Structure formats: structure tokens, C-alpha cells
Amino acid sequence: MRVIRTVATVRRACARFRDAGESIALVPTMGALHAGHLALVRLAKRRCDRVVVSIFVNPAQFAPNEDFGSYPRAWDADLAALSALAVDLIWAPGVRDMYPEGFATRIEPAGPAKVGLEDAFRPHFFGGVTTVVAKLLLQVAPDIALFGEKDYQQLKVVTAMAKDLDIPVKIVGLPTVREKDGLAMSSRNAYLSASERAAAPTLHRVLKDCASHIKTGRPLPDALAVSRAQIERAGFVLDYLEARHADTLAPVMSRKDGPVRLLVAARLGRTRLIDNIGV
């Protein structure tokens, strides 16, 4: 397993794979790896000959008041976990390699990036994500790139970006990997205090109950109102709980409007958690 630090080197290494007729999978991450990330890597290994994992905490997707400085970093543990999975390359650029002096371009996604979910609370986020993911896709030129459904809106935004910019890559989604008690795995779960960690699985439990009530015919607005109250009663500050069309993320009023996805974001103390579920 090689750790690569410069754009020129990652390009050369990936070109060698392609010249040998080998397919390449890219798994973009911000490090502090958990079982969700490792499931993406395992799927990548099943689908392609070579696996590149990028580790880059991308300053462009954090607002000044967010947690870029304190975002968990766990380089040694990440390296050990990826080496146990026999990943081929770790692409770990520094901020100045990704954004050199004079860098002045930013993608401005619309469509699923402008539907009033994450974008309403983190307006800078998807511009930062699509800019860095486009760069990663152009640097590595993978056949497939894998993303988690945990960040459901992000998966839709990245898929649209690659299609709109004619980047020849297949974006592959992976269902959310959860702790035993249902909490979606996230690097940010490390921020939770013991009492917050005990309350955190409520989010998934409420989503599941909401989905089953909708399936058994409860009107969407009623089911959502009950669930929002349950989340707030459990001590969360709710950013949103919404029912959206699973493909377009457009608002839906009933199951007749198409496949429904429930998406939630809520804060427990200083930790912001997101989750989603299909109905």
C-alpha cells in the first residue's frame, strides 16, 4: 500500500493501473475511518482491480463557524485499517496540494443541491464538496467512485455533478452502516458525550417508526409532525425532518408522489447528526 502526497504522483500511479488494463475504484473520505468507510472499501474491492482511498479534510466544505479545526483526525489508525484491507493507494494531499496559491475556481451545484435540506443549513457545503470531488475524479480518473447513503443528499448531488460535467465515472451508493443500536456511523459521533450517545439512536428509531406509519397509510404531514415532536422531546434541536422524492429530493405530499425518502438533521449539544431512510 502506497501513501501518495502529490497530484503528479497519483496521476502517474493511476495511469500505470490503467495501462495494465486494471479497473480503478475511488473511495473519497475525510479520514477518522469507521466501519461505514471500510464497507465502502470492501465494496470497491469487489467491484474493481485497484482501490484508491483518498483522505482529505476539505476546508472548502466547512464554514468558518464549523468544525474544520477540531474534525477528528486519526492517521495511524486509518493507515492500519486500510492496510489490513490491502488498499492499493492512499491519496492524502495537503491543503496546498489541493488548493495551491492562486486557486480560484468553485463549482456551484443546483438541482438536488438546492432543495432546502442540508443546503439550507450549510449553504457553502455542496459547492465545497462538488469542487473537491470533481478534482479527485479528474486526478484519479476512476471507473467507479463510492459514496454512502448516510449522506443521501450528497450522493444525489455528486451523481448529478459527474453526469452534468460529463466525467466518465459511475457513482455507486452504499446503504448506511449502523451501530448495533441503529445510530448511523459517523466520524462526528466521537463528539458525543455519554448521555448524548445514549440519546442519539432515537433519531433512527423515530425515522423507522415514521416510515412504518406512512406505509400503513398515515398521512405524511401527520406522521412527520408526530416524529418531529418525538425528536425534540428526546433533547435534539431539530434542523429538519422532511419527506422527499427519493430521486429528485423534491417535496412530496403523499406516497402517490413517488418513492419517499425521509431525511433528518438534528443537533445534540454541539454535535450535528444526519440520517435518512427509505419508506
Stretch that binds ligand AMP, among 30-38, 111-119, 164-172, 208-216 (CB under 6 A): 30-38
Q: Which of 177, 246, 252, 262 binds ligand AMP (CB under 6 A)?
A: 177
Task: List the interface residues with ligand AMP, window 222-261 (CB under 6 A).
Answer: none
Q: Judged by CB under 6 A, does residue 185 bind ligand AMP? A: yes
Stretch that binds ligand AMP, among 3-11, 28-36, 62-70, 216-224 (CB under 6 A): 28-36
Q: What nine digits make up the cell of 228? A: 418531529
Q: Which of 151, 203, 204, 265 binds ligand AMP (CB under 6 A)?
A: 151
Taking the least distance from each CB to ligand AMP, the nearer of 30 and 234 is 30
Q: What nine digits make up the cell of 248? A: 429528485
Q: Judged by CB under 6 A, does residue 161 bind ligand AMP? A: no
Q: What nine digits make up the cell of 273? A: 447528526
Taking the least distance from each CB to ligand AMP, the nearer of 125 and 147 is 147
- Is 37 a residue of the active site? yes
Q: Which of 135, 150, 204, 228 binds ligand AMP (CB under 6 A)?
A: 150
Size of the site for ligand AMP (CB under 6 A): 16
Q: Judged by CB under 6 A, does residue 130 bind ligand AMP? A: no
Q: Which of 139, 159, 176, 202 binds ligand AMP (CB under 6 A)?
A: 176
Closest CA relative to residue 18, chosen from 41, 49, 54, 53: 49
Binding site for ligand AMP (CB under 6 A): 29-30, 36-37, 40, 147-148, 150-151, 174, 176-177, 184-187
